[in-house]
Every structure is written in structure tokens, then in C-alpha cells.
Amino acid sequence: MNRRITNLFSRVLLHVVIIFIAFAWLMPTLGLLVSSIRNRNDVLSSGWWTVFRHLLDFEQYTLENYTEVITASGMGRAFLNSLIVTIPSTIIVIIIAAFAAYAFARMEFRGRHVLFVVVVGLLVVPIQMTLIPILRIYNGLGLAGTFYGIWLAHTAYGLPFAIFLLRNFFGALPKDIFESAFLDGASHHTAFFRLALPLSVPALASLAIFQFLWVWNDLLVALIYLGGTEKVSPLTLRLSSLVNSLGQNWQLLTAAAFISMILPLVLFFSLQRYFVRGILAGSIKG
Amino acid sequence: MVREKIVMKRSNIWPWIYIAPALLILAFFLVYPIINTFYLSFLDKGSESFIGLSNYIFAFTKKPMLIAFRNNLLWLIVFTVFTVSLGLILAVLFDRVRYESVVKSIIFLPMAISFVGAGVIWKFVYTYRPAGTPQIGFLNAVLSKFPNFEPIGWLVNKLTNNFALIFVGIWIWVGFCMVILSAAYKGIPKELLEAARIDGANELQVFRRIIIPMMKPTIAVVATTMVINVLKVFDIVYVMTNGQFDTEVIANRMYKEMFQFHNFGRASAIAVILLLVIIPVMIINVRRFREQEALR
């Protein structure tokens, strides 16, 4: 009897602790969302949680903050820039990495092992080591401040991980199917396009999500190679300068932040499975 | 016959065509700049004349640099310990409830948000108003419920600001640790845990004597990943305090030397130091990779 009560007690405690942690983790983001649809005066005079006292009073909500940051603060343009930066940076990496990964996994050539060890080593190199020389070259070639420059840079920074992930995936595909394909006279090109790629769709999807989020959420690379002009600034760069210029205008700042998060959140909720799978596959690297 | 086949494959040009684009980009964007940055770190401000180790002497003696090193060390310890241990605890706790996938999503969610976005979110949480006025920052508002609490400027106060920033990092990365550790935890045979419980072990003993030892390799992988992250931390500090009030970290210092002071020698030296700190992790990775290959 006594034991049953302790058992029940610890069950209840477990749920309480878990729900508390979940709430604590969700609270900051919820506060951002709520604040972004409140009036300036309300945001500055009372905490965002006070809306729950009269939740259904729709008078207190507004979308004006969003219209203002999208037009006046340039978040609309920045959203477009983020898409322009991110989509090519994702596609180019995957194409180049897939070819290289196939060669590393399935073809034989001198230096294959050494070269791949170099790729594994490059996985953890801080990009700070590359900023000054590349920026100088970019300045010389007129690539600084252009989308071409940042596409190339993001491709390079994403490559080691992409090659690593895909090479491990290609390497883990059953050997027999490749052998029987080669016996039937298939070339490496056929094996790559007809076997390796179609069988690796889940891995390619994980990689695409990773690279997309990485580039979309990046600040440093954009800061260095694109610079702060509004014409080319992606969301992160624009948002970080708004943090300084908008100061205590929290209703606008929260709306701007939410705009920068909306696409990653949609991707996250719809493709969480691939995201998790990618993390698990990539984590072998440490 | 077999020998002939191998020779034929070796002389083949196609592997090189497959890896050429990747190799060219890696050589140009990673390998060459690494070597060049090493070289630049021994030159002066404008990379014109050789000045020996001056940039490194600057890096290890000047006060702003020493503060940055101290902060990075603080990040390294607090961030790594909390992300890994909290990730492990959550993975084990969540395994016991039926709504596991929901709570996991909630903890994991910040991973999708940019550091800049997270910076704004938390700057708002930490907002400070003078005592007596309504607090609009969640943290000060909650703590104001306690008697005699004086609102704190979390990001300005030198006792709290570094921890306030580190907590943002923890909030983002715990989900990552939890996901990997949870997968490893589910790989432990449940009979093993049951057997220990039947033999009279309590939950704490099961956790310490079985779960942790069995998950050691995964914990090591997660911890090294966190160490790499923490050494490169930049965005959170850049957005939330820009290194003011003694919150600077190495990566931010490098950025300032590069863009504010245009001192490319010092900036390069700081980058080299960052790389040198990471090299042990790189060696561990390569070694681990070799072991895995040997097992295949």
C-alpha cells in the first residue's frame, strides 16, 4: 500500500516536471509571437502574458506591426534576399557533394583514403580561419557584396559535412546490388544515377533541410561577404541591425523576428523526421 | 584477370572528374585560406611587413583578449556540462511518458530558429524596467513576485550577463543533445535495466551504473560537438550585447579586429588560436573515423 502511494507520487512528479520544462522551453517563443500582434502601447506598458486575462478580446490584437516591418523596415526585401541566398546555396552543395561522395564510397583511385581523411578533418575547421583571405580575393574580383560570392562561400562551408554524410550513406547501401549491376555491364554513371541517388532520397532530403536551415539562419557569412546594404541583406542581417535601430520598439522587433523564423518553423514541423534522421546520421562524426 | 581489372580501374579518369569540383572548391575556400591566415598572423595591421609573434603576444596579454578567453572558458564549461547532462536527463525522462514526441518537439524547436532570432526572443525575456514600474520582461516579472526582489538588468550586470547569454545557447542546443542521446538510450536492451531493477537497484543506481556507462561513446560524441559549437559562438553575443559589459568571446573579438580596427594581423592570429584549440577535437574525430572504418 505504502509502496503504491510512493509510486503514484513519483508518477505525478514525473509529469509535473516534464510539463514544467516543456512550458519553460516554449514560453520565450510564445512571448515573441504574442507581442508581435499587440499594440505598441500595450507592449510597452504591460507584460505579454496579460493578454490571457481576456484572451477573446480581439480588439487588443493587430497586424500593423507586420505591415510596418515588411515595408518600412525592409523585412519583405530581406525575406526575398534570404530565398535568393539560400536556394542556390542548398542545391549546388548537394550536386557537387553527391558526385564526390559517390567517388569516395564506390570508386577506386589513388589517394582516396587520404583525401577523405582530409575532408573529415575539415569538418571542424572554424570558418574564421578563411574569412580574411577570401574577403580579399572577393574584393579583388568584385565578388564581395554579390550573391555569386555568397553562394560559393556557403557551398564551400557546407561541402565537408555534405560529402561526409552522403559518402557514409552511399557506403552503407548493400554491396550486392552494385555488384550485380556491374556484372550486367552497368557503368559507374548508371550506378550513380540509377541506383545510388534514388536509394538515397531520405539522406538527400535530410541534407537539403540541414543546409537550407544552416544558410537561412547564418549571420556571420552574410555579414562578412554581403555586408549591410539593404539591397542584398538577408533576414538575419536585417534583423540584427534592427535590434540596434529599433531599440525598445518591441512590438516591431518581435514581428520582424517572427518573420525570420516562419519558414524554418514550417520546414521543421512538416519535415521533422528527416531533420532528426540527418542529425543522427551526422552525429557519428562528432 | 582480377589484377587486370584493378589496374584498369586505377587508370580510370572518372573518379577524378567526380571529385574535381569538390576538391577545387575545398582547396580554394578552405585549404588555401587556412595556410594564408597562418602567414598573415605574422604580419602587421595591413599585412605589409613581418612582425614576428607580436600579434600573438597581443592576443595573450591585452585585457580585452584575456576577458574574451575567460568568457570562452566559461561558455565551454557551463554550456557543455548543461547541454549534455540536461539532454541526457530529458532523454531518459521523456522515454517514460506517452506524449514523448510532443515534448521532444518542443525542446527541439529552438534548433530551427536562427541565433539572431533567438537573440531577439531572449533579449525580450531579459528586458529590465526600473523597480516600481510594470516589468515587461518575463524573467524580471516572474521574479518580482518574490518579496524584496529588485529587478536585474540581466545583460548589463557583470555578474549575470555571461550566464544569461550562455543560457540562450543552452536553450537552443539541448534539443540536439536530447535527440542523439535519446536514440542511444533506446538502443540499450530494456531487459538489462529490468534485470537490475529486479535485483533491487533503485532508479538512480540504474542511471549511474548502467545507463551512463552504456551510453559513454555517444555522450563523448555529443560533448565534442558541443565543444566545437561553443568555441565558435558568435551570433548570440553579437546580437544581444555586441561584447559590451565584458561579454566578448574570441570569435567576436576577431570580427572586431577585422572590421572595426582593420587589423588583419591580429584578427588572423586570433583565428589561428581558435583553430589550435580545435585541433585536438579534429584529431579525435579522425581517429574515431578510422576506428569505424576498420570495423566495416
Question: pLDDT tens across A223-239, in order?
Answer: 999 987 888 999 999 99
pLDDT surpasses 90 at A91 = yes
Residues B18 and A108: beta-carbon distance below 8 Å: no
Are B33 and A236 within 8 A, CB to CB? no
In a domain, A68, yes or no: no
Domain edge (last residue) among A62, A86, A113: A62
Instruction: Check whether residue A34 and residue A77 sit in a common domain.
Output: no
In a domain, B51, yes or no: yes
Spatial separation of the C-alpha atoms in residues A212 and B199, rounded to whole Å: 50
Are B112 and A261 within 8 A, CB to CB? yes
pLDDT score of B296: 65
Instruction: Check whether residue A108 and residue A193 sit in a common domain.
Output: yes
- State pLDDT tens for residues B203-213: 888 888 889 99
Instruction: Check whether residue B253 and residue B270 sit in a common domain.
Output: no
Instruction: Check whether residue A21 and residue A129 sit in a common domain.
Output: no
Instruction: Check whether residue B48 and residue B72 sit in a common domain.
Output: no
pLDDT score of A1: 56
Instruction: Check whether residue A6 and residue A90 sit in a common domain.
Output: no
Torsion angle, CA of A39/A41/A46/A51, rounded to 10 degrees?
-20
Instruction: Check whether residue A91 and residue A201 sit in a common domain.
Output: yes
Q: Which domain holds residue B178?
A: 65-260
Strand-pairing partners, residue B50, are B43
In a domain, A24, yes or no: yes
Q: pTM of this prediction?
A: 0.90
Spatial separation of the C-alpha atoms in residues B19 and B175, rounded to whole Å: 35
Question: Angle at Cα A122 formed by Cα A119 and Cα A125, nearest 5°?
Answer: 175
In a domain, B13, yes or no: no
Which residues in chain A touch residue B275, judged by CB atoms under 8 angstroms apart? 125-126, 128-129
pLDDT surpasses 50 at A190 = yes
Which residues in chain B touch residue A265, judged by CB atoms under 8 angstroms apart? 109, 112-113
Domain edge (last residue) among A41, A62, A83: A62
- What is the DSSP-derived secondary structure letter of residue A61? B
- What is the DSSP-derived secondary structure letter of residue B129? -
Looking at chain B, the whole-number percentage of residues with pLDDT higher than 90 is 56
What rounded mean pLDDT belongs to chain B?
Answer: 89
Please state, in angstroms and as integers, the Cα–Cα distance from residue B269 to each residue in A222, B30, B113, B203, B257, following that order. Answer: 22, 17, 32, 50, 10
The CATH number assigned to the domain holding B182 equals 1.10.3720.10
Looking at chain A, the whole-number percentage of residues with pLDDT higher than 90 is 50
Which residues in chain B touch residue A117, judged by CB atoms under 8 angstroms apart? 286, 289-290
Q: Which domain holds residue A54?
A: 2-62
Segment B106-120 mean pLDDT: 92
Instruction: Check whether residue A190 and residue A226 sit in a common domain.
Output: yes
Instruction: Check whether residue B136 and residue B274 sit in a common domain.
Output: no
In the chain, the amino acid numbered A13 is L
The CATH number assigned to the domain holding A118 equals 1.10.3720.10
Distance from CA of B232 to the nearest CA of A (A): 7
For chain B, what is the domain count?
A: 2
In a domain, B274, yes or no: yes
pLDDT score of B49: 86
Name which of A115, A159, A260 is nearest B25 (Cβ-Cβ).
Answer: A159
In a domain, A77, yes or no: yes
- State pLDDT tens for residues A12-21: 999 999 999 9
Distance from CA of A177 to the nearest CA of B (A): 18
Q: Could you report the predicted ipTM of this complex, rounded to two decimals?
A: 0.89
Instruction: Check whether residue B44 and residue B136 sit in a common domain.
Output: no
Position B178 confidence tier, pLDDT thresholds 50, 70, 90 = very high
In a domain, A33, yes or no: yes
In a domain, B20, yes or no: no
For chain A, what is the domain count?
A: 2
Instruction: Check whether residue A56 and residue A123 sit in a common domain.
Output: no
For residue A61, the tally of other CB atoms under 10 A from its CB is: 14
User: CB-based contact (8 Å) between B257 and chain A?
Assistant: no
Segment A83-89 mean pLDDT: 96
In a domain, A67, yes or no: no
In a domain, A136, yes or no: yes
- How many CA atoms are closer than 13 Å to the CA of B115, on its beta-carbon side? 23
